[in-house]
Structure 1
């Protein structure tokens, strides 16, 4: 795959993924539940919660801008990579976006963008959520890695970094405290069984597991 074809492919893949994951998904969710599922930014401006949402929005914009600028021939130049890397990027990007859609579908009526502290949704622990607690974010990061390999520029890399930071803030500062407060012991037990973003990694230690570890020979 030529660099030019890879860049165009990255742009088209990204735009199709965003339209499906946010546009079509929002439309389907509203038809089924009467709500768009969008809850907006959390926290006061300048807080960690606010930065999480702001950097997520920035990542989405930069993800489109990186390949778009490269296609137009303006902005930072592409980093030269072996042509085989583009095919790896295409596979990663495709799997990432498909995984995002599958994980969103797995949430059913509980799917949200952002958190409303006064709202109580069902705790989803089955399907891909039995493998990792945040499969949507894991899949989105995988998709953006793929796009970055197809259109390797400083802007696309900035999008990936922004997404990783945004996801860490959103999950650790916003979503996990909300779920712990809303679902109590059920959520604590879930975090002890299932990794945060990668299977087996980022599991919480409950009092029971700590006591079990102390008693182990």
Structure 2
């Protein structure tokens, strides 16, 4: 369902990347549940914001349990700040469970976003598939789970967002509602109906 003045659906997440007052960048995240959070960037030295690289890479490669998929599911990283909205009563506990359960996926997202960011920052996108595969072998050692076309598309997507960033100093983007990290079941909690005593 959409609202008249809104540019995104309520169950989708809107992210606004902009310059912060410190000269770095900040991503303001409007979650589908009405909670608004800020994720600060620490990248004054970069032409392209690192969190924008995460967004483009994770969205293009379908990483539901990376940084932005985790935030969409209710994950709140330690450097994030609540701006408005009312989180659930158990939001802190859910966030801890979520981020712990997806620790490896978050490392994977950092690895791939780092490669995509590097090639776009350097203007050398032709090397993205080779660098991504090398990084994956060092990290995992197994077969690379994405195609060269997907990785190339991630670099192209970031390149397009970088052009918008440089032209306007801001990027407004929607995170798809089908890329949300799954919520783990807490230890000791059984699924299904409780038996009668």
Is the pair's TM-score, using the shorter chain for normalization, greater than 0.5?
Answer: no
Kindly name which structure, 1 or 2, has the bigger radius of gyration based on alpha carbons: 1
- The structure that is helix-richer by fraction is 1
TM (norm. structure 2) is 0.28
TM (norm. structure 1) is 0.26
